[in-house]
Amino acid sequence: MSKIRAGRVGEQIKKELSQLIQSGLKDPRVGFVTVTGVDVTNDLSQAKVYLSVFGDEEQKSDSLRAIEKANGFLRSELGKAIRLRHTPELIFKIDESVAYGSHIEKLLGEIGKNE
């Protein structure tokens, strides 16, 4: 039963954080950032937030640093939006699956051309 609740809380966190990052953060280092997923522990104490950042490695690291610096603000705003007893600790990670998927797509396209 707790896995179902953790999944629902994760989806709500994903929705709220997407809106907060797009409209709430005024830091110029934050580029085009998309929240691709959120994994919440069963006890709702931690949430790993996976971010996809458009740009090169420097822009990715700058955006991640800016978002980590705004962690307290994001967590407090998330606590206001989602009515939980304790707001989960947010851990931000860069999601490389989109870049990996496009790389595989490119390789498969090259194989198709060679045949």
Q: What is the pLDDT along the chain (115 residues), one digit of tens a residue?
A: 578 888 888 999 999 999 988 888 887 888 788 899 999 999 989 999 999 888 888 888 888 898 999 899 999 999 888 888 888 999 999 888 877 888 888 888 888 777 6
CB contact at 8 A, 57 and 63: no
What are the chain's domains? 1-114 (3.30.300.20)
DSSP string, 32-78: SEEEEEEEE-TTSSEEEEEEEE-S-HHHHHHHHHHHHHTHHHHHHHH
The dihedral through the CA atoms of 10, 46, 66, 25 has a sign that is positive
CA distances from 108 to 35, 53, 112 (A): 27, 24, 6
Other CB atoms within 10 Å distance of the CB of residue 5: 12
pLDDT, position 54: 83
Global confidence as pTM: 0.81
pLDDT, position 47: 93
pLDDT, position 49: 94
Query: Residue with structure tokens 């999944």?
Result: 7
pLDDT, position 26: 83
Q: CA torsion angle for 89, 51, 76, 47 (degrees, to 10)? A: -20
pLDDT, position 91: 94
